[in-house]
Every structure is written in C-alpha cells, then in structure tokens.
C-alpha cells in the first residue's frame, strides 16, 4: 500500500473538532506511516461575524453551547464542561487569534507543534472554560506545549504567519470545504465530520489501496448561508 497524506482542516472553536483530534491522534499511533498536515479553517473570523450570524455575540454563545451537547455525545471521552461555560462571563471567542497561534506553532515546531498547541487551546476552551482570545491564556497554552516560546512569539506577531492562515482558508475554499472537521486524503478524497475511528481507518486504507472510497458525512460545524450550524 502507498502512504497517504491527510490534510486535517479544523478550527480551534469547533466543538466537533475536539473529538476528531483525539481520534486522529489514535489513527497516527495505529498508522504512523500516514502523514497528517494541519490546516486552518475559520468559522468566525471577527466579532462582526457573530452579529451577522446570531444577531449578537451574547446570542451566539447561547446557541453555540447547544452544539456542545451534541459534540459531547460524539466525544469518546465526554470531556466538555458545558455548565462551566454557561457560567463563564467572557463572550464566545472568534477563530483568528487561536488559529494564528497554531500556525505560529507550526513555524516553530512543525505539524507536531501545531497539533500540541491546537489541542491545548481546545482543552482550555472546552474543558477549562478559558477565553482563548485572551493573549495570557494563549501564552499559557504555548508554554504548556513545550515549544520555544520566544521563537513562537516572533512568529505569532509576524504578518507572514497571518498570511499563512489566510492561505489555508483559501485552500479550504478551493477544496469546496464548508465545515469542519474535514479530512482531505492525498488532495483528492474528502471525509466530512467527526467520523468514528473505524470509518476513518477504512477510508485511509481504501485510498492507500488506490480505491476511490469516501466515508459518509459525520457530525460537523458548517457555514450555511453565513451562519454556523452544528449537527
């Protein structure tokens, strides 16, 4: 079988990306020959997007937390602290600061660094109920990840890093992606949503054996007519 490259498109604020990242780590352990490349996808680029999608940022938090209920059922470990987030006083975070932090981690420590920071930020939001738009929280996640903080900070403040995030968003558009999590296998085959691990493995093996096999759609957060909808 040939080796397979998977482009893993995800957003730090995407609830279904949290269980999917856990499964992708399991996949990597089971199939170390698979190359996993991390790509950014922004469900909410700015505060204005919250207003356009939900009417207000406060209304956005209420609706998005209803998505967490379904995502927690999808999560193999049921890690979501939903009650804690209801009590948290900060508004629901937008995507770009955290995505930039992840991309800066990639330039600092490769895809492994990106992944560690991505998981740390998601855990900070979904489990610890921290505001991942707060730079102090982002910095703490970077330090927890163990990558070179000084080097990361230089990349985080670089316009080239922000441009690299935008290039990922453009690539997602070229692939026709309108929701995450989403996997692109060898640049051709698309797997949508937080699929069971067995289904992901089946799809990867199918592509590795040069069979055009695409998994059915799983639970995801999508942009439909300018609004976030989660299964």
Q: pLDDT higher for 225 or 4?
A: 4
57 domain residue, yes or no: yes
Domain coverage including residue 77: 5-12+31-230
- Sign, Cα dihedral of 186, 191, 192, 193: negative
167 domain residue, yes or no: yes
195 domain residue, yes or no: yes
- pTM (2 decimals)? 0.92
135 domain residue, yes or no: yes
66 domain residue, yes or no: yes
Segment 109-117 long-range contacts (CB within 8 Å, at least 24 positions apart): 109/147, 109/148, 111/36, 111/37, 111/38, 113/145, 113/147, 114/38, 115/21, 115/25, 115/36, 115/38, 116/145, 116/146, 116/147, 117/141, 117/142, 117/145, 117/147
What are the tens digits of pLDDT across the range 70-93?
A: 999 999 999 999 999 999 999 999
What are the tens digits of pLDDT across the range 35-69?
A: 999 999 999 999 899 999 999 999 999 999 999 99
Number of domains in the chain: 1
159 domain residue, yes or no: yes
CATH number at residue 178: 3.40.30.10
Rg (CA), the chain: 17
22 domain residue, yes or no: no
Q: What is the pLDDT of residue 9?
A: 98
């Amino acid at each position: 079988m040939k080796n397979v490259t998977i482009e893993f498109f995800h957003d730090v604020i995407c609830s279904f990306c949290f269980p999917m990242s856990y499964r992708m780590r399991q996949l990597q352990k089971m199939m170390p020959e698979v190359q996993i490349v991390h790509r950014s996808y922004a469900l909410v680029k700015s505060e204005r997007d919250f207003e356009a999608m939900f009417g207000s940022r406060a209304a956005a938090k209420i609706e998005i937390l209803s998505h967490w209920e379904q995502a927690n059922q999808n999560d193999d470990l049921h890690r979501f602290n939903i009650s804690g987030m209801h009590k948290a006083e900060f508004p629901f975070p937008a995507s770009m600061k955290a995505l930039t932090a992840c991309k800066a981690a990639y330039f600092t420590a490769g895809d492994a660094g990106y992944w560690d920071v991505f998981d740390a930020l998601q855990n900070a939001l979904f489990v610890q109920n921290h505001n991942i738009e707060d730079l102090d929280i982002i910095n703490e996640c970077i330090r927890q990840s163990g990558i070179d903080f000084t080097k990361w900070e230089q990349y985080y403040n670089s316009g080239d890093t922000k441009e690299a995030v935008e290039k990922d968003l453009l690539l997602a558009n070229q692939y026709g992606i309108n929701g995450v999590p989403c996997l692109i296998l060898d640049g051709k085959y698309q797997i949508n949503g937080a699929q069971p691990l067995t289904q992901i493995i089946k799809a990867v093996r199918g592509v590795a054996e040069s069979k055009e096999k695409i998994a059915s759609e799983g639970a995801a957060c999508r942009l439909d007519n300018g609004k976030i909808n989660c299964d």
